[in-house]
Chain A
Amino acid sequence: DSGVTQTPKHLITATGQRVTLRCSPRSGDLSVYWYQQSLDQGLQFLIQYYNGEERAKGNILERFSAQQFPDLHSELNLSSLELGDSALYFCASSLRGLGGELFFGEGSRLTVL
């Protein structure tokens, strides 16, 4: 158990819809990262928050947004969903803002039909 909690574990929705994925980091970790994992793209870095503020942006689409709340949990919002958005979405946390070990949750599997 990594200590990182993600909900929901599975989500099935239709194209055009909007979903929210939730992540609770390990106790004491200030950084939260979001990654997308698909068969053809591997593990893609989307965005990072550190202590409530956006720290780094990767390959995140404009239809996607995220935030980190004062209690350090984070949410990833995916809107106007397309079939290609079907993937595993992982949240990871770390103590520091740069480098260090990433602790991953079990992921949220999104299926867009």
Chain B
Amino acid sequence: TQLLEQSPQFLSIQEGENLTVYCNSSSVFSSLQWYRQEPGEGPVLLVTVVTGGEVKKLKRLTFQFGDARKDSSLHITAAQPGDTGLYLCAGAETGNQFYFGTGTSLTVIP
């Protein structure tokens, strides 16, 4: 079982602030995904990254895959209340299933 640690575990910020969430592991991943989960719902895929050093942008969200493919970060610019939720990273070693990180619970206060 892969261990993916996310930090911080909890984050509460004011609307308009920027934030970064980290996902770290000792394992090398063939691909890594980020999901967002809202209360009462299942996780929903935000992005998949597969190349070391890859950067993907989704509106105000920027995702980066580490050069060694062991870590990833999610940066949100000018956070909005609609960004509130549980952010989960999920990594897969080659040929294996995706294992999820410990999660970061984000609250954006209006």
- Which A residues have a C-beta under 8 Å from some C-beta of B? 2, 4, 33, 35, 42-45, 48, 56, 58-59, 90, 92, 98-99, 101-102, 104-107
Contact = CB atoms under 8 A, between A and B. Distances in A.
Interface in B84-102: 88, 90, 92, 95-102
B41 A106 contact: yes
Contact of A43 (B30, B31, B44, B103): B103
A51 B43 CA distance: 23
A47 to B, nearest CB: 10
Contact of B103 (A35, A42, A106): A42
Contact of B42 (A45, A59, A105): A105
Given A99-B31, A99-B92, 5 more contacts: A2-B44, A4-B42, A43-B43, A58-B99, A102-B98
Nearest to B45: A101
B42 A104 contact: yes
